[in-house]
A and B are shown apart, each in its own frame.
Chain A
Amino acid sequence: RKEVEQDPGPFNVPEGATVAFNCTYSNSASQSFFWYRQDCRKEPKLLMSVYSSGNEDGRFTAQLNRASQYISLLIRDSKLSDSATYLCVVNSGYSSASKIIFGSGTRLSIRP
């Protein structure tokens, strides 16, 4: 089982739609979680951190479910500019040798 798993998509939705992705992680000791966005042939950029209580940033909402070991990203009122690959990122612990594990990404395409 992969440490971090995502549905690769692609998700193809019309502009204005609401879309949600999930990401599961295998290490129950994982402590920090993030969503990154990567545009084609560009570097990943932090979209938002994911906190236990859930958090919202404009049209984006992130949730963490520790019991089921998954995080989610909800995008409301999607825009054409939201088309990208969304990477789930999990930090596996406190150790200085901890690895920050990236999921393979979920591709999202917003159509006019």
Chain B
Amino acid sequence: NAGVMQNPRHLVRRRGQEARLRCSPMKGHSHVYWYRQLPEEGLKFMVYLQKENIIDESGMPKERFSAEFPKEGPSILRIQQVVRGDSAAYFCASSPQTGQPLSGANVLTFGAGSRLTVL
């Protein structure tokens, strides 16, 4: 049972290019979360998706960032026209469900992350 798979693990882009980060959740998990972690800082929530639905994107920057989780295939975090400040580790996590906090059903499992470097 593979865990959360993220690729690429490392991505280098020049300013103005596009970055696409992919995340396949654990088998049986239908909820995907994207987090960003800047060097020496904590994880910052970006977006929460279920299949074909964006549930909460309150942490997404208003411009250049978008996310999707299609019916088939991985979730994708897309960053257009990257800038140096986008350099960070982007972690994807999945969970089987939310809404039952004491059952542990909403425990997150993280992928190994995608490290974006913008030159």
Taking Cβ atoms with an 8 Å cutoff, the residues of A that contact B are 31-32, 34, 41-46, 49, 51, 87, 89, 91, 94-105
Contact = CB atoms under 8 A, between A and B. Distances in A.
B106 to A, nearest CB: 6
B45 A96 contact: no
A103 B110 CA distance: 16
Interface of B: 33, 35, 41-45, 48, 55-56, 58-59, 89, 91, 98-99, 101-102, 104, 106-113
B106 A87 contact: no
Given A32-B101, A98-B98, A45 B35 contact: no
A95 B100 CA distance: 10
Of the candidates B98, B111, B112, B113, the one having the most CB atoms from chain A within 10 angstroms of its own CB is B98
B98 A87 contact: no
A44 B55 contact: no
Contact of A97 (B48, B106, B108, B110): B48
B33 A32 contact: no
Nearest to A93: B101
A9 B65 CA distance: 32
Nearest to A102: B43
Contact of A49 (B59, B89, B98, B104): B104
